[in-house]
Amino acid sequence: LCIAETCPSCSVTVLSEQSSPNTTSDVAAGMLIPHTYPGTPIHVQKQWFKETFAYLFAISNSAEASEAGIHLVSGWQVFKNTPKEELPFWSDVVLGFRPMSKAELQKFPQHRFGQAFTTLKCDCPPYLLWLEKRLKATGVQMYTRKVADLWELHSEYNVVVNCAGIGARQLVGDEKLFPIRGQVLKVHAPWVKNFIRDGDGLTYIYPGIHRVTLGGTREKESWSLSPDAGTTKDIFDRCCALEPSLRGARDIEVKVGLRPSRQCVRLQREVLSQGGVQLPVVHNYGHGAGGFSVHRGTAKEAARLVGECIAALQGSSSRAKL
């Protein structure tokens, strides 16, 4: 969508093996709480987060908000012990970030420190369906197709953008990309209005417009997409310890996704070359546990790189004509 918007003369086609509701993005809670990528400078990650926050904030403040599934949500991140870093790098991007008061902390007798703030949440699938609708309105073609090798695309397209998530491990043989399995529950508990996140990042309660997401797990190198019943009970008990009213939650749905994890997002241009033929590629995958938090910022950079590929192609065709 970002490419179609920034380069209206491009004709864009989306090829995907799976689409909503069968992608990792459909499993996510969709909260804007960044995860740190150790291999990317903090100021770059902060810029990605800021751009994403500003983009979604504008949607949340428009008539589109409910259809797009974007809303502001306030709540608390609580810690059993005071963290080393009391001010995360994103504290001045979210709204109203402040330490919790003693009175607020009384809600969490097991925790000694906490941060209160307001952030944004994307509800999925609605947000993905809204993006799809906008893609179609811009004239983008969408096809269901598994790509086995990027080279199969060279005769049909001038530039290929690789946003394959965990699928990039096989598609481009990236061994630095690995899954971190996450199991979550989506429940009906409309009385839960505030988010609660344990600072260890394992247990969280994220209310959406229709369902509340309860999490979670982080299982490195596990490729299993099957829900585990013992894990479901464990997640539910952990969440009830933070928010006892969840014992009354109904319609528990269990979801599993594989976070496409890497030291850093792979956001770069590459020119593939075979038998004198070149294929410009822009990679944009490896967003790990924070894909929603930085999606617009990384998409903008990917679109800029596509612009560079087009300029290079135009340069080489005019040189060829000379």
Ligand X SMILES: O=C(O)CCC(=O)C(=O)O
One residue of 163, 185, 281, 302 binding ligand FAD per CB under 6 A = 163
Asked if 127 interacts with ligand FAD (CB under 6 A), we say: no
For the residues of 65-134, what is the DSSP string, one character each? Answer: HHHHTEEEEEEEEEESS--S-SS-TTTTTSEEEEEPPHHHHTT-TT-SEEEEEEEEEE-TTHHHHHHHHH
One residue of 73, 164, 267, 305 binding ligand FAD per CB under 6 A = 164
Nearer to ligand X, 4 or 27 (CB): 27
Say if residues 29 and 204 touch (Cβ distance below 8 Å): yes
From the list 25-33, 64-72, 189-197, 242-250, the region that binds ligand FAD by CB under 6 A is 25-33
Task: State residue 237 phi and psi, 5-degree precision.
Answer: -65, -40
One residue of 16, 77, 119, 298 binding ligand FAD per CB under 6 A = 16
Asked if 259 interacts with ligand FAD (CB under 6 A), we say: yes
Q: How far apart are CA 127 and CA 144, in angstroms?
A: 19
One residue of 27, 93, 100, 185 binding ligand FAD per CB under 6 A = 27
Asked if 146 interacts with ligand FAD (CB under 6 A), we say: yes
Annotated binding residue 259: yes
Q: Is the dihedral of CA 227, 230, 235, 239 positive or negative?
A: positive
Helix (H, G, I), strand (E, B) or coil at 38: coil
Q: How far apart are CA 316 and CA 321, in angstroms?
A: 9
Q: Find the length of the chain.
A: 322
One residue of 3, 24, 211, 214 binding ligand FAD per CB under 6 A = 24
Annotated binding residue 147: yes
Residue 129: CB minimum distance to ligand X, A = 21
Residue 214: CB minimum distance to ligand X, A = 11
If contact means CB under 5 to 8 A according to the sort of partner, which of ligand FAD, ligand X, none does residue 201 touch?
A: ligand X
Q: How many CB atoms lie within 10 A of CB 203?
A: 21
Written in H, E and C, the secondary structure of 198-266 is: ECCCCCEEEECCCCEEEECCCEECCCCCCCCHHHHHHHHHHHHHHCHHHHHCEEEEEEEEEEEECCCCE
One residue of 76, 130, 195, 285 binding ligand FAD per CB under 6 A = 285
From the list 60-68, 158-166, 235-243, 311-319, the region that binds ligand FAD by CB under 6 A is 158-166
Q: Is the dihedral of CA 155, 156, 159, 165 positive or negative?
A: negative
Nearer to ligand FAD, 78 or 112 (CB): 78
Nearer to ligand FAD, 114 or 167 (CB): 167
Segment 172 to 191, residues that bind ligand FAD, using CB under 6 A? 182, 184
Residue in the structure block whose two tokens are 């810029």: 47
Binding residues for FAD, as ranges, are: 24-25, 147
Binding residues for D-dopa, as ranges, are: 204, 259
Residues at the contact surface with ligand FAD, assessed by CB under 6 A: 15-19, 23-25, 27-31, 146-147, 163-167, 171, 182, 184, 216, 257, 259-260, 285, 287-293
